[in-house]
Amino acid sequence: MSRAFPVKDAVSAGGVVWRRDADGGIEVVLCGRTSDKVWGLPKGTPDDGESIQETALREVREETGLEVKAGPELGSIEYWFTSGSVRYHKFVHHWLMEPVGGDLADHDHEFDAVEWLPLREALRIVTYPNERKMLREAARKLGVEL
């Protein structure tokens, strides 16, 4: 008989950082790692005493090098994973965010590349379907037809 893993809830927060390019198109920031060929949205876990939105703003700043302001909430995604002998049910909350300063060159060590990409290209290369859902919701809130 196999024993079930204990289940714990986990939470993260991040966002879809966007801007208009010179032609008026929408660009978003994706973070990439060469080791596992993952491209995704910036996000992370709360520090003690931090609200979910404060977490989102801090994690985006750390992972992208950009200072951002939060706009409308985009919603949450959820998924399951196992680490050690614990099964986690993870919820990741996302906001639409605009840059107000900073530089992508100042991103932290977690990612090898942090880049502005046209929204349609970001939708094509983002690794996880649930993050693609957040990009589509961002496009909807920005009034962009895909």
Task: For residue range 10-57, list pLDDT tens digits in order.
Answer: 999 999 999 999 999 999 999 999 999 999 999 999 999 999 999 999
Nearest to 118 by CA among 126, 129, 106, 110: 126
What's the CA gap between 141 and 92, in Å, rounded?
19
Q: What is the pLDDT of residues 15-27, one digit of tens each?
A: 999 999 999 999 9
For the chain, domain boundaries: 7-141
Kindly give, in sequence order, each residue whose CB lies less than 8 Å from that of residue 51, ignoring residues fewer than 6 positions away.
Answer: none
What's the CA gap between 4 and 33, in Å, rounded?
32
Question: What separation in angstroms does the CA of 135 have from each of 46, 64, 78, 132?
Answer: 22, 17, 15, 5
Which homologous superfamily does the CATH classification assign to the domain defined by 7-141? Nucleoside Triphosphate Pyrophosphohydrolase (3.90.79.10)
Q: What is the pLDDT of residues 68-100, one digit of tens each?
A: 999 999 999 999 999 999 999 999 999 999 999
pLDDT band at residue 3, thresholds of 50, 70 and 90?
A: low
DSSP calls for 86-142: EEEEEEEEEEEEEEEEE-GGG--TT-SEEEEEEHHHHHHH-S-HHHHHHHHHHHHHT
Q: What share of the chain in percent tops pLDDT 70?
A: 98
User: Where does residue 145 fall: left (phi above 0), alpha (psi -120 to 50 degrees), or beta otherwise?
Assistant: beta
Spacing of C-alpha 39 from chain mean position:
10
pLDDT band at residue 2, thresholds of 50, 70 and 90?
A: low
